[in-house]
Amino acid sequence: MSTEKAKKSTFVQRIMDRLNGGEVVRLNKFAKGLRSYVVDQIDAIQKRIKKNSDRIEEQEAELISYIETVDQEKIATVDGRDAYYPEYIAGLDTIFDKIEDLEDKKKADQRLLDRRQKLISRTKD
């Protein structure tokens, strides 16, 4: 009879261990899913950073082109030059604003990327 009781307690203990282990299994599955989700986010953020870097380069090239290209007809006379200054500066400001906006987005994405990479580095495979 003691053998039967030992079998029951072993059986009950195994069931309890499995139930208690269920929490660990769920947590491990969650951690694995979270890691996969964060890795996907990292990939998306890196693509956005690359895209914004490319767009910044394009805007910088446009800025150089704009600086080098002055409307010769508008500056042919003194009055034309005086009237062209605000227009020219406004064009420069528009390009500078685009560049600054893209740089801000890139910096924000870089901060987010750094946080996600720290999270990944703290989790195990």
Could you tell me if 113 and 45 are in contact, meaning their C-beta atoms sit under 8 angstroms apart? Answer: yes
Q: How far is CA 110 from CA 36, 46, 69, 102, 106, in A?
A: 19, 8, 34, 12, 6
Q: Looking at residue 17, what is its pLDDT?
A: 67
Q: Looking at residue 46, what is its pLDDT?
A: 98
In a domain, 74, yes or no: yes
Containing domain of residue 104, as a range? 38-121
In a domain, 11, yes or no: no
Q: Looking at residue 51, what is its pLDDT?
A: 98
In a domain, 13, yes or no: no
In a domain, 76, yes or no: yes
pTM metric for this prediction = 0.73
The total of structural domains in the chain comes to 1
Q: How far from chain centre, in Å, is Cα 55?
A: 16
Tens of pLDDT, residue by residue over 81-107, are 999 999 999 999 999 999 999 999 999
Q: Looking at residue 26, what is its pLDDT?
A: 77
Name the stretches of the chain with pLDDT < 50: 1
In a domain, 2, yes or no: no
Q: Which amino acid is at 43?
A: D
Could you tell me if 91 and 66 are in contact, meaning their C-beta atoms sit under 8 angstroms apart? Answer: yes
Q: Looking at residue 31, what is its pLDDT?
A: 85
In a domain, 67, yes or no: yes
Q: Looking at residue 124, what is its pLDDT?
A: 61
In a domain, 19, yes or no: no
